[in-house]
Each structure stands twice: as C-alpha cells, then as structure tokens.
C-alpha cells in the first residue's frame, strides 16, 4: 500500500465500556465525525473491549486499565493521534489514570487532543498537579472543554495552554425513532406529552449530589 493511502491511526481514551449510555453517546458522536472526515483505523481504550467492538464497530478496543505502562506504550507509539475525551474524566481520584496515556503519547511524540472534557472536582494537590503537568507538557496539545466552569478550573490549576470551549459530542448524534411498542411495554401513557429526566447518582465526579433532592427539583 502506498504510504499516502495509509489510514490514520487514531486512539480514543475516555470512560468507555462502563455501561454508561451517556459516555457511549459521546464516543459514537466522536466516531461519526471522524468517519465523515478522515480514513482512520480507530483504537478505543475501553473497560469492556468486547462491548465496544460490538457497539461501535471500531477496528480495535483495548482495556488499558489492565495493562502496565510498558505493555500499553507500544500501542500508543503506533498512533498518529491520541484523543482524550470527551466527558467528565478529569476529577480527583481518576484524573491520573486517564492522563497516563496522554503522558506516554507526549513521550512518544504522538499529538494529543483533549476533546470536550469536563473538569472537577479537583481538590487534591496530586490531581491538580497531574492535570497541570500533563496538559502543559507539549506545545502541540489541543485542549477543548464542554463548559465554562471547566475552562476556569483548568486555568486555576495552572494549565497555560489555550483552552477552547466546545459542545458535547453527544449533540452530534442524529435522532432515531423509538418503536412505540417499546414504550408501551414499559407502561408509558402515550396520550399526552412526555418529558424524561435521567437523574445522576452520586459518584466521585459528582460527590455532592443528593439524588432525591435533585429529582424533586427536576420534577
């Protein structure tokens, strides 16, 4: 194959394969734009490679969390681009894990795009330092976040690269019709208008949420 015909090798790292449909929607939005723009072989770093391969039809999926730094480095060195994101992944207790692949990419000369992430809470000095050092490490890194609070927080922890504000990739998805039979099977009354809310549970990325209070306010 002529080198000009070689597909770009792109890695995507984020909170994928965890059975969170919001994260899977983000990945599908990213993939749709990539496929419409460039011929690429995509490797997704996923907690559940089997599900990711079946759901998103990518060329490769790898569970980076089970691999050592030495084991994952050759895969990253083969890439033409590493995409970190999107979603809320830069927060206390997890940021360092997500940024490991970014640091390896920097060391290997692989360009990095931090795409449509959210940041916070970032309270611990270890997490703040990890985010600052990883995002400042290369002048070629492109950084985009999906909310203004993320811009402010990354600036506050010491990120000096330009930070761009963008939309969540899930907004790129085209809506599909939901079969009426599926709604009826769930007992949904189709006589009137319907609004649905998916209320988030507490977790390390949102430790102060009170589910009952949030559900009542939403209602």
At 92-143, the pLDDT tens digits run: 989 999 999 999 999 999 999 999 999 999 999 999 999 999 999 999 999 9
- pLDDT digit string, tens, across residues 146-184: 999 999 999 999 999 999 999 999 998 888 887 888 888
Give the per-residue pLDDT at 2: 47
pTM of the complete model:
0.83
| Domain annotation covers residue 75 | yes
In terms of Cβ atoms closer than 10 Å to its own Cβ (0-12, 13-18, 19+), residue 39 is exposed
Phi, psi for 114 (deg, rounded to 5): -90, 110
| Domain annotation covers residue 200 | no
- pLDDT digit string, tens, across residues 8-49: 999 999 999 988 888 999 999 999 999 999 999 999 999 999
Residue 206 has pLDDT above 80, yes or no: no
Give the per-residue pLDDT at 1: 41
Q: Which two tokens stand for residue 218?
A: 């939403």
| Domain annotation covers residue 155 | yes
| Domain annotation covers residue 189 | no
Average predicted confidence (pLDDT) for the chain: 91
In this prediction, residue 4 has a pLDDT band, given cuts at 50, 70 and 90, of low
Q: Which residue has the tokens 């990945």?
A: 27
| Domain annotation covers residue 208 | no
Q: How many Cα atoms are found within 13 Å in the side-chain-facing hemisphere of 106?
A: 17
Give the per-residue pLDDT at 201: 72
| Domain annotation covers residue 213 | no
Q: Could you give the CA distance from residue 178 to residue 164 in angstroms, rounded to a whole number?
A: 35
Sequence-separated (6 or more) residues with CB below 8 Å from residue 142 = 112, 113, 114, 164
Sequence-separated (6 or more) residues with CB below 8 Å from residue 121 = 91, 92, 205, 207
Start-to-end Cα distance in the chain? 58
Q: Which residue has the tokens 């992944």?
A: 89
Give the per-residue pLDDT at 144: 97
Residue 150: give its domain's CATH number.
3.40.50.11720
- pLDDT digit string, tens, across residues 64-80: 999 999 999 999 999 99
Report the domain count for the chain: 1
Give the per-residue pLDDT at 183: 81
| Domain annotation covers residue 182 | no
Q: Report yes or no: 87 and 21 within 8 Å, Cβ to Cβ.
A: no
Domain interval for residue 128: 3-176
Phi, psi for 185 (deg, rounded to 5): -65, -25
Q: How many Cα atoms are found within 13 Å in the side-chain-facing hemisphere of 85?
A: 26
| Domain annotation covers residue 131 | yes
Is the pLDDT higher at 139 or at 204? 139
Give the DSSP letter of residue 173: S
């Amino acid at each position: 194959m002529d080198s000009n015909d070689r597909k770009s090798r792109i890695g995507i790292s984020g909170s994928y394969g965890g059975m969170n449909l919001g994260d899977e929607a983000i990945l599908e939005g990213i993939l749709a734009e990539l496929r419409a723009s460039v011929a690429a072989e995509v490797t997704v770093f996923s907690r559940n490679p089997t599900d990711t391969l079946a759901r998103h039809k990518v060329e490769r999926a790898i569970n980076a969390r089970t691999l050592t730094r030495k084991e994952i480095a050759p895969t990253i060195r083969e890439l033409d681009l590493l995409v970190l994101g999107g979603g809320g992944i830069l927060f206390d207790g997890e940021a360092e894990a997500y940024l490991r692949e970014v640091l390896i990419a920097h060391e290997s000369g692989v360009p990095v795009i931090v795409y449509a992430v959210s940041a916070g809470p970032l309270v611990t000095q270890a997490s703040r330092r990890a985010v600052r050092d990883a995002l400042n490490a290369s002048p070629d890194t492109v950084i985009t976040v999906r909310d203004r609070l993320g811009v402010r927080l990354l600036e506050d922890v010491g990120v000096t690269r330009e930070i761009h504000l963008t939309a969540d990739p899930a907004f790129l998805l085209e809506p599909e019709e939901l079969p009426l039979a599926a709604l009826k099977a769930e007992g949904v009354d189709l006589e009137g208008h319907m609004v649905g809310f998916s209320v988030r549970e507490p977790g390390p990325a949102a430790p102060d949420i009170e589910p009952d209070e949030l559900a009542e306010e939403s209602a």
